[in-house]
Chain A
């Protein structure tokens, strides 16, 4: 797929810092970098570094250049959006089996499920639940941003607005849940 690849190259520029760094990276064909969220800009440096590593790029100067770009990219809000998206996704993935197991109790043991629910009323469990709702909301916001960037368009000047709106909406969801929860 050449389209996602060319889009990746274009979009990695704002984070990569220079056109040279993006051109210098050996990016394999296809959308794997896109699958890493690269078009958000956030993971582009990681994708470039990985691409360099997996393709056996041993040029020391190039590798050093990627690392410098990585550090600079870490100061960009897109990098933190990428980290939050990834960590929230991982958290939700690890929580899913527990969620399904608990709901599965309703097949036979409603009292056991109610006992489980009463355990979740403890303050720490409530806090964990609220953080899970925050993770879900923030992953939704990050996912919508990625879909928008990939299928509608990337505009540097709107990225920070996206991050702010997404973070605000996600925190509002978590607060609404926390305030409603009993």
Chain B
């Protein structure tokens, strides 16, 4: 894949994930502002989310979009502000994306499992 084509896909992935995140973050902000009112606790969080397929799907999509979006943004910052780019950086960022995805999905499972 040519570098230009790869950049095009990254641009597209960044925008597509941003569109998902726009909706997810609005819901997340509203949820945080509401649930924090009573004070947070493990029991309170689990009562809301445990066994909920709806929250599992929502947070799963949220994590997937974040795992795509954040490393691409980080790649731009590393290239423009730090001046590091190239295959080793890209491979590290792929690993970072996978780590975010795995730890994020683990967190989703932790709060939504039956």
Is B46 interfacial (CB 8 A cutoff)? yes
Does the CB pair A103–B72 fall under 8 Å?
Answer: no
A contacts, CB < 8 Å to B: 1, 4, 28-32, 34-36, 43, 46, 50, 86, 89-90, 92-93, 96-97, 99-101, 103-107, 110-111, 113-114, 117, 120, 133, 136-137, 139-140, 143-144, 146-147, 150-151, 173, 176-177, 180-182
Q: Which residue of A lies closest to B40 (CB)?
A: A117
Q: Given known contacts A105-B110, A133-B32, what 12 new A-B pairs fall within 8 Å (CB)?
A: A31-B8, A36-B80, A86-B77, A96-B70, A97-B100, A139-B25, A140-B21, A147-B19, A151-B15, A180-B34, A181-B36, A182-B38
**Which single residue of chain A is at the shortest CB-CB distance from B72?**
A35
Q: Among B7, B70, B109, which residue has its beta carbon within 8 angstroms of that of A107?
A: B109
Residues of B within 8 A of A (CB): 4-5, 7-8, 10-12, 14-15, 18-19, 21-22, 25-26, 28-29, 32-34, 36-43, 45-46, 66, 70, 72-74, 76-77, 79-80, 99-100, 103-104, 106-107, 109-111, 113
Instruction: Known contacts A36-B80, A104-B103; decide if A173 and B110 are in contact (CB<8 Å).
Output: no
Is the Cβ of B22 less than 8 Å from the Cβ of A28?
Answer: no
| Least CB distance, A21 to chain B, in whole angstroms | 19
A173 to B26, CA, bound (A): 10
Bound CA span A151–B14, Å: 13
Cβ of B25 and Cβ of A140 under 8 Å apart? yes
Would you call B11 and A133 a contact (CB within 8 A)? no
Which among A1, A36, A105, A137 is the interface contact of B76 at CB below 8 angstroms? A36
**A-B contact list, 25 entries, CB within 8 Å:** A1-B11, A30-B7, A32-B7, A32-B11, A35-B14, A36-B76, A89-B73, A89-B77, A90-B74, A92-B70, A96-B66, A101-B107, A104-B107, A106-B110, A110-B42, A113-B42, A114-B42, A117-B40, A133-B29, A133-B32, A140-B21, A140-B22, A173-B29, A177-B29, A180-B34
Task: Choose among B22, B40, B111 the residue with the greatest number of A CB atoms under 10 Å from its CB.
Answer: B40
Which partner residue on chain A sits nearest B45 by CB separation? A106
Complex Cα–Cα for A144 and B14 (A): 13
